[in-house]
Chain A
Amino acid sequence: MSTDPTTLSAGGAIAAVRAGELGRAELFGAYRARAAADELNAFTWVAEAPPADDAGDGPLAGVPIAVKDLFCTEGVPSQAGSRILEGYRPPYTATAVARLQAAGAPLLAKTNQDEFAMGSSNENSAFGPVLNPWDRTRVPGGSSGGSAAAVAAGHAPWALGTDTGGSIRQPAALCGIVGLKPTYGAVSRYGMIAFASSLDQAGPLTRTVADAALLLHHLAGRDDGDTTSVGLPEPVIVPTAERLDGIRLGVPEELSGEGIEPGVLEVFRATLALAEELGATVAPCRLPHAPYALSAYYVLNPAEASSNLARFDGVRYGLRVENGGGLTDMYTRTRHDGFGTEVKRRIMLGTFALSSGYYDAYYGRAQQVRTKIAEDFRSAFAHFDFVVTPTSPTVAFALGAKVDDPLAMYLNDFCSVPMSLAGIPAISIPNGLSEDLPVGLQLAGPAFSENRILDAAHALEAAIAFDGSGGRA
């Protein structure tokens, strides 16, 4: 094959392999070489070679995949971006990854991330920040920053990420690629190192909407090993829509005005005009409780995280720091040395929020807000097919710009958190540039509307005709 196979979309690569124009080993080798030479710090581990027993004959035809560090992969470091799990090699593989491997996608690499997925810039990784391939002085977003940067840079054909409050969508937006957070429960969480269990959801980061559909097709499915998994009611279909006739787009005032950068808003409005040209109707809608989403989210996620991270105690795996001082001393030293600042902050916030006497005021109240936000979306979807917003209030910001200001950092999740709290699916697609940096458009739909979201995103993608080559390293 004369063209560089790493410039193909994943779907394109599958077609080339099928047609006999591209060898699986050649494809793997091309990506492996790029991943090994990566200068963005996108990876925490890169495969030497495809596994000997790889199921390349499956529908994914040997197109390799990069997987966020927090997915457990048997015998391969799975560290969740944390010092406390440095070098940890699990004895089992996460269901989501196993499904892709069974479908014929060998593991290419593990990708860098914010520690335990807590962050929006990938600067909270124990293994150093990831650089944005569009501008290496800027962040790629987070927490799936390594996955987003690797796909945008052409170091991986596609990647697996996780989204708790925007951790797939926001880095996808900042790196100029597609990121889909499925309905909560569509993809098994078994083997995903947990951050906030009631919000965590795995999903694809890809260069095209069709690739996202293809990956989700193989990811989604009920897993008897995870009682919160339900799968999707119908198989995911690779989208073909080119028009948006009859589609009603609701633009929530609460998420599309104040707090959004002017340049981002400008790109957003241009896309809305384009949608109308494709046949959609665009009208304002209300999500009255959306402004409270961030506050509720920053009670709920630390609360669950404080509990989920209690297992990292130095007893069974990972880091153990001892100084002859007994059990409590070992606990203290291990967790002091093993966890980063942001993780410690959330453990403390969450422990407080769950404490006797404070539970009702914090955790209980936040759950009530969550219910209200879900009701807001249900009301909106009575009149609209999708809610559309900018994915992130800003374009990629400079490395270090917000590391000392957690509140400013948390505001990155302003547009993505409401959908997470409601458990509904949302996609981010690149819809233009502002200051020569990618801007993302978010489309959210009712639970289990993935096929319709993918169709609409596909029509918009074609009309926008975003040029992602600026991210290619």
Chain B
Amino acid sequence: MTDFEPVIGLEIHVQLSTATKMFCGCALSFGEPPNTRTCPRCLALPGALPLPNAQAVHFGLMIGMALECELAPRSIFHRKSYFYPDSPKGYQISQYDEPLCGAGRLGDVRIHRVHLEEDAAKLVHAGGSGRIHGSLTSVVDFNRGGTPLVEIVSEPDVRSAEHAREWLTLLRTTLRRLGVSDVNMEEGSLRCDANVSIRPRGATELGTKTELKNMNSFRFLERGIRAEVARQEELVRSGGNVVQETLHFDPASGAISSLRSKEEAQDYRYFPEPDLVPVLITDAMLAAARADMPELPAARQERLEALGLTADSARQLAWRAELGDFFEAALAGNGAEPQPLANWVTGELVRRIGDDDPAVTPLAPAALAKLVHMVAAKAVSTGNARVVLDRLVAEGGDPEAIVAREGLGALGDGGELDGLVDAALAAHADAAERIRQGNAKAIGPIIGHVMRETQGRADGGEVTRLVHEKLGA
């Protein structure tokens, strides 16, 4: 059976968090009453002209720099025609063959281009189900219309659904670091379409692609691509051909349905926007963008690796910037070793907070650093430290105080542990015998016994040392 390789390119739309809209002075809208953030320009009243937003150009240049793009010294806006009530001018002002940013790269995926455009207004379908089909009337809220967007188009370098998700995470982190967008998929400030095709592994030419629209979460993106790759593979294996079309993924049912075929593709009648002069990028604009550039994930990963972190830890902390921020804050004052601290952040902490930002939990970075230090100093066992972390994440506080209050401190060296180990060896004579014969794994029941007796306060390493000492093994 032929082995297929998915070939995926992503088209990402990002709402910029500028002060005002792309082509007028209206403030961006955050849930205000409908049609209260509008003016003659964004309503496309007769005679009104667009005015480009300098901050959006600035953000666009920052994004271009972060994605290592070629920055065009001169770019122009085009009109992209389409008739729909969410498009008050009857065209969207976008960029076409002279975009703001050309070829670039982020991580292992090449960037094709980055350009500026404006968002559409929002249609609200009243009556029926609230969706367009079966609704009785539709009304338009122009508050969102004209919000600045950048469209980022990747080359078809993505090779799996997981890869798409992982890379989009990196892109989101990068954009969040830049401070140019909220990059929230659920709220629509980050939107992703995927161009998906398959080809026999090893082939170089591209197969026919389909365009999968608007998957509004990272999970749906991954599931949608996986479903489409599977659909194409099954189609080709059964002797069929992939047809170029635009597809909709329904996350509820997992079904993929066709929105329109290639023949129904719209003719956007692009032509240069005569109401706007070309955007000329001056050295001063480039210098201003450069001055506003924060440290980006790739550079941060390198820096974290230089601290002695493994590549994997460094990448996890760099690509989820909020984890990196928490890690670096914890590392700052409390003498915890970097790698154990990183392990606690990317392991135990993430297990407790999921996709949340640790900064919004009651856990203070210094408290985690102290806890990790206590583990290293054998003041608390690893197992009990996990219990302490549960408390810290839930209610904050000082790990030392929690250990003292709840009696979770490790047993010191000396007699108490000695006696407990003796008792355990006696209770598990068969295990002791196997250890003596060289089976190191047999120690489990003995350690378990000691831990039970001490409610986890014993140090596993110390127990192991004592067992081996006593058995001469």
Expressed in whole angstroms, the minimum distance between the Cβ of B78 and any Cβ of chain A is: 11
- Which residues does chain B contribute within 8 Å of A190, judged by CB atoms? 47-49
- A316-B88 contact, Cβ under 8 Å, with A227-B52, A331-B83: yes
Instruction: Using CB atoms and an 8 Å cutoff, list the residues of chain B in contact with chain A.
Output: 40, 43-52, 79, 81, 83, 85, 88-91, 138, 140, 267, 269-271, 274-277
Q: Tell whether, in the assembled complex, residue A94 and residue B47 are in contact, meaning their CB atoms are under 8 Å apart.
A: yes
Instruction: Select the residue from A91, A191, A307 with max chain B CB neighbours within 10 A.
Output: A307
A290 within 8 A of B: no
- A225-B49 contact, Cβ under 8 Å, with A198-B274, A315-B140: yes
A354 within 8 A of B: yes
Residue of B nearest to A85 (CB): B46
- Which residues does chain B contribute within 8 Å of A192, judged by CB atoms? 47
Interchain Cβ contacts under 8 Å between A and B, 14 examples: A72-B45, A72-B47, A92-B40, A92-B45, A193-B46, A194-B275, A227-B49, A227-B275, A307-B271, A310-B81, A313-B83, A315-B85, A315-B140, A316-B88
- Which residues does chain A contribute within 8 Å of B138, judged by CB atoms? 327
- Which residues does chain B contribute within 8 Å of A312, judged by CB atoms? 46
- Which residues does chain B contribute within 8 Å of A27, judged by CB atoms? none
A-B contact count (CB 8 A): 102
- A310-B83 contact, Cβ under 8 Å, with A190-B49, A191-B47, A227-B52: yes
A88 within 8 A of B: yes
Alpha-carbon distance between A309 and B89 when the two chains are bound, in angstroms: 8
A466 within 8 A of B: no
Q: Which 8 A-B pairs have the closest CB atoms?
A: A310-B90, A197-B274, A198-B274, A354-B269, A191-B47, A193-B46, A72-B47, A311-B44
Residues 183 to 203 of chain A near chain B (Cβ within 8 Å): 189-194, 196-198
Alpha-carbon distance between A192 and B48 when the two chains are bound, in angstroms: 8
Q: Tell whether, in the assembled complex, residue A226 and residue B46 are in contact, meaning their CB atoms are under 8 Å apart.
A: no
Q: Tell whether, in the assembled complex, residue B47 and residue A310 are in contact, meaning their CB atoms are under 8 Å apart.
A: no
Expressed in whole angstroms, the minimum distance between the Cβ of B263 and any Cβ of chain A is: 13
Q: How large is the interface on A (under 10, 10 to 19, 20 to 34, 35 or more residues)?
A: 35 or more
Partner of B89, one of A70, A303, A310: A310
A355 within 8 A of B: yes
A448 within 8 A of B: no
- Which residues does chain A contribute within 8 Å of B271, judged by CB atoms? 303-304, 307, 354, 359, 363
- A91-B40, A191-B47, A228-B277 provided; 9 other pairs, C-beta below 8 A? A71-B47, A72-B46, A189-B275, A192-B47, A228-B274, A307-B81, A311-B44, A316-B88, A356-B267
Q: Tell whether, in the assembled complex, residue A307 and residue B91 are in contact, meaning their CB atoms are under 8 Å apart.
A: yes
- A189-B83 contact, Cβ under 8 Å, with A313-B90, A316-B43: no
Q: Mark A316-327, 1 if CB is under 8 A from B, else 0.
A: 110000000001
- Which residues does chain A contribute within 8 Å of B50, judged by CB atoms? 227
Residues 333 to 374 of chain A near chain B (Cβ within 8 Å): 351, 354-356, 359, 363
Alpha-carbon distance between A363 and B91 when the two chains are bound, in angstroms: 18
A90 within 8 A of B: yes
Expressed in whole angstroms, the minimum distance between the Cβ of A226 and any Cβ of chain B is: 5
Residue of A nearest to B41 (CB): A225
Residue of A nearest to B268 (CB): A356
Residue of A nearest to B265 (CB): A356
Q: Tell whether, in the assembled complex, residue A311 and residue B89 are in contact, meaning their CB atoms are under 8 Å apart.
A: yes
- Which residues does chain A contribute within 8 Å of B44, judged by CB atoms? 311, 316
